């Protein structure tokens, strides 16, 4: 039986796009009769202290065999010493998006992350990027040769198209962990001028990962007196999320950057028109016929796009048709698993 080891920082059950990708790819590989071992690298990434880095290096060095070793980029980029120690192994670096592009680090931290990740990536046998945008960035800014990069897009589950609301109030849905990069406080600021329009926003996503971002979101809602318009409900059951998608008219998310944008893809799969940004790979996911994308951080442009979509029913109808057409072109997880398995076969 073919074997592969996945080295994962933190808890693989964490509800995020990156961990979701890891879980689904592992499941698909097992479907394809790969034996997949999962090794935990501990917590604290991508800012591990010296003891946690040393422990992660020990765990990686103890992995036996010569089969492929996939290391999630949340850890790999800050473990250049481990990358160099393993450079004779068939190591695959899985990059969801470069760590230096996360929102929050100081300029000095960004410089350190860029150097660390560039050094680590130079030692990988192969690099998996989860979008064409990320692949191009890794070549241009991190000096990874294009012939060492494979693009394996996230899959998207097929879903029933949203029926929408009864039209008396436009139902907006945002799905994503409440962290700085998702720009929820900016979304609230963009919605504030639209109080004369009939809309409601439900935000679904983990409120326990970034206390500062949660505080900014809650403060923005209170400052603009939108408590009766916006509800941040945290993590919900799959059944409730399905109901929220079914009743939504429009998906909105003001991400500052996305390495792919799985939440946007899920919205497209439900046939929802999208208001988002051009940050990172989002334009790969949301075609012009399915939504409006504005520069990340531009609250005025975001507010204008929201106004147009909320106020113009015909525009929403056209964009809904565009989203439904785009849904058919999204890769499935079976597609993604097959592609990942093929690259593992090449590096074995």
Domain total for the chain? 2
DSSP alpha helix (H) spans, 143-235: 184-191, 211-223
Within a domain: residue 162? no
What mean pLDDT is predicted for residues 230-244? 97
User: What pLDDT is stored for residue 330 in this prediction?
Assistant: 97
| Residue 225 neighbours by CB distance under 10 Å | 10
**Rounded-to-integer distance, Cα 237 and Cα 252, Å:** 20
220 and 201 within one domain: yes
Confidence of residue 189 (pLDDT cuts 50, 70, 90): very high
- Those residues with Cβ within 8 angstroms of residue 147's Cβ, 6 or more apart along the chain or in another chain: none
| pLDDT over threshold 90, residue 254 | yes
Residue 280, classed as helix, strand or coil, is: strand
8 and 99 within one domain: yes
Token pair recorded at residue 83: 């990358």
Could you list the residue range(s) of the whole structural domain that residue 264 is in?
Answer: 170-327
40 and 18 within one domain: yes
Within a domain: residue 108? yes
Confidence of residue 107 (pLDDT cuts 50, 70, 90): confident
Write the pLDDT tens digit of every residue in 162-178.
Answer: 999 987 899 999 999 99
240 and 252 within one domain: yes
Within a domain: residue 161? no
User: What pLDDT is stored for residue 268 in this prediction?
Assistant: 98
313 and 210 within one domain: yes
Q: What are phi and psi of 260, to 5 degrees?
A: -145, -65
Within a domain: residue 160? no
User: What pLDDT is stored for residue 165 in this prediction?
Assistant: 94
188 and 145 within one domain: no
Within a domain: residue 20? yes
Query: For the whole model, what pTM was predicted?
Result: 0.93
**Rounded-to-integer distance, Cα 112 and Cα 34, Å:** 36
292 and 196 within one domain: yes
Domain containing 120 — which CATH number?
3.40.50.2000
**Rounded-to-integer distance, Cα 312 and Cα 264, Å:** 21
266 and 226 within one domain: yes
90 and 41 within one domain: yes
**Rounded-to-integer distance, Cα 162 and Cα 241, Å:** 12
247 and 147 within one domain: no
Range with the poorest average pLDDT among 70-74, 96-100, 178-182, 195-199: 96-100
**Rounded-to-integer distance, Cα 212 and Cα 137, Å:** 29
Confidence of residue 8 (pLDDT cuts 50, 70, 90): very high
**Rounded-to-integer distance, Cα 81 and Cα 41, Å:** 14
57 and 205 within one domain: no
**Rounded-to-integer distance, Cα 221 and Cα 233, Å:** 13
284 and 149 within one domain: no
Confidence of residue 23 (pLDDT cuts 50, 70, 90): very high
């Amino acid at each position: 039986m073919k074997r592969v080891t996945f080295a994962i920082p933190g808890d693989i059950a964490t509800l995020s796009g990156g961990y979701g990708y890891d879980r689904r790819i592992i499941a698909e590989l097992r479907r394809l009769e790969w034996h997949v071992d999962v090794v935990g690298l501990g917590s604290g990434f991508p800012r591990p202290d010296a003891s946690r880095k040393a422990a992660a290096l020990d765990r990686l060095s103890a992995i036996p065999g010569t089969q492929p070793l996939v290391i999630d980029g949340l850890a790999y980029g800050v473990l250049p010493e481990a990358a160099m120690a393993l450079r004779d192994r068939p190591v695959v670096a899985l990059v969801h998006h470069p760590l230096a592009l996360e929102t929050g680090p100081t300029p000095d931290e960004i410089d350190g992350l860029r150097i660390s990740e560039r050094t680590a990536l130079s030692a990988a046998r192969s690099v998996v990027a989860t979008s064409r945008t990320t692949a191009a960035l890794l070549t241009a800014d991190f000096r990874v040769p294009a012939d060492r990069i494979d693009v394996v897009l996230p899959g998207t589950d097929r879903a029933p198209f949203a029926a929408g609301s009864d039209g008396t109030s436009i139902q907006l849905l945002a799905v994503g962990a409440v962290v700085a990069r998702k720009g929820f406080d900016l979304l609230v600021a963009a919605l504030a001028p639209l109080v004369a329009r009939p809309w409601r926003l439900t935000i679904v996503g983990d409120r326990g990962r970034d206390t500062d971002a949660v505080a900014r979101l809650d403060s923005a809602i209170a400052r603009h007196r939108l408590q009766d318009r916006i509800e941040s409900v945290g993590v919900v059951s799959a059944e409730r999320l399905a109901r929220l998608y079914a009743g939504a008219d429009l998906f909105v998310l003001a991400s500052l950057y996305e390495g792919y944008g799985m939440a946007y893809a899920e919205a497209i799969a439900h046939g929802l028109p999208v208001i988002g940004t051009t940050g990172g790979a989002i334009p790969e996911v949301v075609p012009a016929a399915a939504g409006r994308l504005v520069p990340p951080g531009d609250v005025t442009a975001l507010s204008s796009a929201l106004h147009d979509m909320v106020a113009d029913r015909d525009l929403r109808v056209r964009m809904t048709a565009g989203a439904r057409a785009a849904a058919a072109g999204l890769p499935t997880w079976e597609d993604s698993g097959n592609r990942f398995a093929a690259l593992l076969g090449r590096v074995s």
